[in-house]
Structure 1
Amino acid sequence: MAVFDTPQEAFGALRPVCVQLTRAQTMENVGLLRARLAAVSAPALQELQEYVLFPLRFALRLPGPQQERLVQSLVQCISAVLAATCLKKPELLRELFSELCSCLSPPPSSGKAAPLSEELKLAVIQALHTLLHAARGDVVLSLYQPSTLPLLGFAVSLLLGLAERERAKQIKVSALRCLQVLVLQCDCQEHRPLAADEAQRCGDLFASFLPGMSITLSRVITGDVKQGHKPAVCAIRLLYLSLGSVMADAQLARVPQSKEKLPAEQSRVSELLVHRGPEWSASTAAKLALLLQKVVESSSVHPHWKVRLELVELVHHLLGSCSRSLADSFGHLLKALVGLVSDESGEVRGRCREVLQGVAQRGLVAHSRALTDVLSENLHCLATALPRLMSSQDDCGKLATLSLLLGYLKLLGPKVDAVLRSASHLQRLAQALLQVLELDVSDVKVVEERRWGREGPPEPLQQGLGGCQRKYFRFFREEKVLRLLQQVCRVLGYHGNLYLLVDHFVGLYRRSGLHRRQAAMVLNELVTGAAGLGVDVLQPRDAPLGVDELRGAVASILDEYTEQANWHLPTGPEAEDAGSGECAWGGPGGGHGSLLLAPPEPPGTAARATNGNVWQLCIQLEGVGRFAAALGSAFRPLLLSALYPVLEKAGDGTPLVSQTALAALGQVGEACGYPSLPALIADNSDYLVSGVALGLRQPALRPRAARVLGAVLRHSDASLLPLLEDVIQDVLSALDRSYSDQASAFLGVLHSLMTALAAWFGSCCAEERGQAGQSCSRAVSQGQQVVTRQELEQFFLDYIRQKQMAEGDLPDTEEEEEEEAGAGEVPPLAGPELSSSAMEEEAALPSHAQLAKAVMERCSHLLSHESLHLRLKVLEVLELCVAVLHPHGTQLLPLAHRAWPPLLRRLLSDHPLAVLRAFKVLCTLADKCGDFLRQRFSKDVLPKLAQSLLSQAPASAQAGPVYSHSLAFKLQLAVLQGLGSLCERLDLGESDLNQVADACLPYLSARQPRKLQEAAQR
Structure 2
Amino acid sequence: MALFDTPQEAFGALRPICIQLTKVQTVENVKELQAQLQTVSDSALQELQEYVLFPLRFTLKTPGPKQERVVQSVVQCVTFVLSATCVKKPALFLELFSELCMCLASPSAPRQLAPLSEELKHSVIQSLLALLHSAYGDVIMSLYQPPNLPHLGFAVSLLLSLAKEEKARQIKLAALKCLRTFILQCDCQEYHRPLDEEDKKQCGDLFASFLPGMSITLSQMITGDMKQGHMVVISALRVFSQAISLVMADEQLAQIPPEKEKKPALEESRISELVVHRGLEWAKGTAAKLSILIKKVVASASVHSHWKVRQELVETVHLLMLTCSQSLVGSVSELLKALVSLVNDERPEIQARSNEVLRSITVQGMVAENRPLTNILSEDLHSLATALPRLMNSQDDQGKISTLNLLLGYLKLLGPKVSVVLNSASHLQRLSKALVQVLELDVRDVKIVEEKRWSSGGLEDLTNHSVHSKYFRFFTDDRILPLLQQICQVLGYYGNIYLLVDHFMELYGESALYRKQAAMVVNEVVAGAAGLEMDGLQEREAVLGTEDLKGVITSVLEEYVDQANWHLITSMESEEAAAELAMKYSGLLAVASEVHSQPLPPLDPKPTVRSMNSNIWQICIQLEGIGCFAQALKRDFRLLLLSALYPVLEKAGDPTLLISQTARGTMAKICLTCGYGSVPELINQNADYLVNGISLHLRHVAHEPHASRVLEAMLRHSDANVLPLVEDVVQDILTKLDQCHSDRASSFLRVMHTLMKMLEKQVPVGESEAAEDPCEEQSQLPLYAQMAKDVTERCVHLLSAKSLCVRLKVLDVLELCVMVLGAHENVLLPLAHRAWPPLVHRLTNDDPLAVLRAFRVLCTLGANCGDFLRRRFSKDILPKLATSLANQAPVSARAGPIYSHTLAFKLQLAVLQGLGSLCKALDLSENDLNKVANICLPYLSAKQPARLQEAACSVFLHLMQMDPDATWLFLSNIWCPHTYQPPHPSLAPVNLHGMAKKRNEFTDNVQHLLDVLHRGS
TM-score (norm 1): 0.84
What secondary structure, in the 3-state scheme, does the structure 2 residue paired with 1:490 have?
helix
What secondary structure, in the 3-state scheme, does the structure 1 residue paired with 2:185 have?
coil
Q: What is the aligned partner in structure 1 of residue 121 from structure 2?
A: 121
What secondary structure, in the 3-state scheme, does the structure 1 residue paired with 2:469 have?
coil
Q: Which of 938, 943, 950 in structure 1 is aligned with 2:889?
A: 950
What secondary structure, in the 3-state scheme, does the structure 1 residue paired with 2:764 have?
helix
Which aligned pairs between 1:475-494 and structure 2 lie closer than 5 A? 475-494=474-493
Change (3 A) 1:509 1:106: closer
| Residue type at the aligned position of 2:153 | G
Give the total of aligned pairs.
Answer: 916
CA distance in 1, matches of 2:635, 2:757: 33
Q: Indicate yes or no: 2:390 matched with 1:388.
A: yes
CA distance in 1, matches of 2:269, 2:466: 72
| Residue type at the aligned position of 1:93 | F
Which aligned pairs between 1:765-804 and structure 2 lie closer than 5 A? none
Q: Deviations over 1:80-125 (max 9, x none)?
A: 2222222222122111111111111241599x99721111111111
Contact 2:253 2:278 in 1 (8 A): yes
CA distance in 1, matches of 2:921, 2:21: 106
Q: What is the aligned partner in structure 1 of residue 320 from structure 2?
A: 318
Contact 1:494 1:541 in 2 (8 A): yes
What secondary structure, in the 3-state scheme, does the structure 2 residue paired with 1:762 have?
coil
Contact 1:863 1:902 in 2 (8 A): yes
Stretch of structure 1 that moved more, 925-934 or 558-567: 925-934
CA distance in 1, matches of 2:901, 2:10: 91
Q: What is the aligned partner in structure 2 of residue 561 from structure 1?
A: 560
Question: 1:664 Cα shift?
Answer: 0.6
Contact 1:524 1:623 in 2 (8 A): yes
Question: 1:31 Cα shift?
Answer: 2.2
CA distance in 1, matches of 2:535, 2:895: 61
Q: Deviations over 1:321-364 (max 9, x none)?
A: 11111111122222222222222222222222222233344444
Q: Deviations over 1:901-939 (max 9, x none)?
A: 333443444444434433433443344344455552761
Q: What is the aligned partner in structure 2 of residue 60 from structure 1?
A: 60
CA distance in 2, matches of 1:100, 1:533: 64
What secondary structure, in the 3-state scheme, does the structure 2 residue paired with 1:400 have?
helix
Q: Indicate yes or no: 2:246 matched with 1:245.
A: yes
Contact 1:912 1:971 in 2 (8 A): yes
Change (3 A) 1:929 1:478: farther
CA distance in 2, matches of 1:44, 1:767: 108
CA distance in 1, matches of 2:540, 2:720: 49
Question: 1:273 Cα shift?
Answer: 1.0
Q: What is the aligned partner in structure 2 of residue 691 from structure 1?
A: 693
Q: What is the aligned partner in structure 2 of residue 528 from structure 1?
A: 527
Which aligned pairs between 1:362-761 and structure 2 lie closer than 5 A? 362-441=364-443, 443-445=444-446, 468-535=467-534, 538-575=537-574, 606-761=608-763
Contact 1:256 1:276 in 2 (8 A): no
Contact 2:651 2:709 in 1 (8 A): yes
Change (3 A) 1:143 1:894: same
What secondary structure, in the 3-state scheme, does the structure 1 residue paired with 2:143 have?
coil
| Residue type at the aligned position of 1:57 | R
CA distance in 1, matches of 2:951, 2:24: 93
Question: 1:240 Cα shift?
Answer: 0.6
Change (3 A) 1:454 1:40: closer
CA distance in 2, matches of 1:303, 1:451: 33
Change (3 A) 1:527 1:54: same
CA distance in 1, matches of 2:535, 2:25: 67
Stretch of structure 1 that moved more, 493-502 or 868-877: 868-877
Question: 1:472 Cα shift?
Answer: 2.1
Percent identity for Structure 1 against Structure 2: 59
Change (3 A) 1:760 1:346: same
| Residue type at the aligned position of 2:352 | G
CA distance in 2, matches of 1:65, 1:877: 101
Q: What is the aligned partner in structure 2 of residue 76 from structure 1?
A: 76
CA distance in 1, matches of 2:451, 2:490: 39
Q: Deviations over 1:740-789 (max 9, x none)?
A: 343122112111211111112232179879xx9xxxxxxxxxxxxxxxxx
Q: Deviations over 1:960-986 (max 9, x none)?
A: xxx665545554554565455555555
Q: What is the aligned partner in structure 2 of residue 219 from structure 1?
A: 220
Q: What is the aligned partner in structure 1 of residue 336 from structure 2?
A: 334
Q: What is the aligned partner in structure 1 of residue 981 from structure 2?
A: none
Change (3 A) 1:328 1:991: same
Contact 2:107 2:114 in 1 (8 A): no
CA distance in 2, matches of 1:276, 1:451: 69
Q: What is the aligned partner in structure 2 of residue 133 from structure 1?
A: 133
Question: 1:892 Cα shift?
Answer: 2.0
Question: 1:510 Cα shift?
Answer: 2.7
Q: What is the aligned partner in structure 1 of residue 19 from structure 2?
A: 19
| Residue type at the aligned position of 1:196 | E
Q: What is the aligned partner in structure 2 of residue 888 from structure 1?
A: 824
CA distance in 2, matches of 1:638, 1:290: 56
Contact 2:104 2:113 in 1 (8 A): no
Q: Which of 789, 794, 797 in structure 2 is aligned with 1:858?
A: 794
Contact 1:577 1:868 in 2 (8 A): no
| Residue type at the aligned position of 1:556 | S
Stretch of structure 1 that moved more, 29-38 or 987-996: 987-996
Stretch of structure 1 that moved more, 532-541 or 626-635: 532-541
Which aligned pairs between 1:834-913 and structure 2 lie closer than 5 A? 840-913=776-849
Q: What is the aligned partner in structure 1 of residue 937 from structure 2?
A: 998
CA distance in 1, matches of 2:897, 2:799: 35
Change (3 A) 1:113 1:291: closer
Change (3 A) 1:727 1:283: same
CA distance in 2, matches of 1:608, 1:57: 81
Contact 2:576 2:705 in 1 (8 A): no
Contact 1:450 1:653 in 2 (8 A): no
Contact 1:489 1:522 in 2 (8 A): yes
| Residue type at the aligned position of 1:546 | G
Structure 1: any 5+ residue segments left out of the alignment? 579-602, 773-836
Contact 1:436 1:475 in 2 (8 A): yes
What secondary structure, in the 3-state scheme, does the structure 2 residue paired with 1:702 have?
helix
| Residue type at the aligned position of 2:762 | W
Contact 1:747 1:873 in 2 (8 A): yes
CA distance in 2, matches of 1:952, 1:57: 101
| Residue type at the aligned position of 1:194 | L
CA distance in 2, matches of 1:767, 1:174: 88
CA distance in 2, matches of 1:79, 1:767: 98
CA distance in 2, matches of 1:114, 1:9: 40
CA distance in 2, matches of 1:735, 1:388: 58
| Residue type at the aligned position of 1:914 | A
Contact 1:14 1:37 in 2 (8 A): yes
CA distance in 1, matches of 2:452, 2:952: 29
| Residue type at the aligned position of 1:178 | C
Change (3 A) 1:419 1:24: same
Contact 2:446 2:613 in 1 (8 A): no
Question: 1:419 Cα shift?
Answer: 1.5
Question: 1:1014 Cα shift?
Answer: 6.7
| Residue type at the aligned position of 1:484 | L
Q: CA RMSD in A?
A: 3.3
Q: What is the aligned partner in structure 2 of residue 811 from structure 1?
A: none
Change (3 A) 1:253 1:999: farther
What secondary structure, in the 3-state scheme, does the structure 2 residue paired with 1:630 have?
helix
Contact 1:946 1:999 in 2 (8 A): no
Question: 1:50 Cα shift?
Answer: 2.2
Question: 1:287 Cα shift?
Answer: 1.1
CA distance in 2, matches of 1:118, 1:392: 43
Q: What is the aligned partner in structure 1 of residue 357 from structure 2?
A: 355
Structure 2: any 5+ residue segments left out of the alignment? 578-604, 955-1017
Stretch of structure 1 that moved more, 317-326 or 78-87: 78-87
Contact 2:295 2:334 in 1 (8 A): yes
Q: What is the aligned partner in structure 1 of residue 983 from structure 2?
A: none
Change (3 A) 1:270 1:24: closer
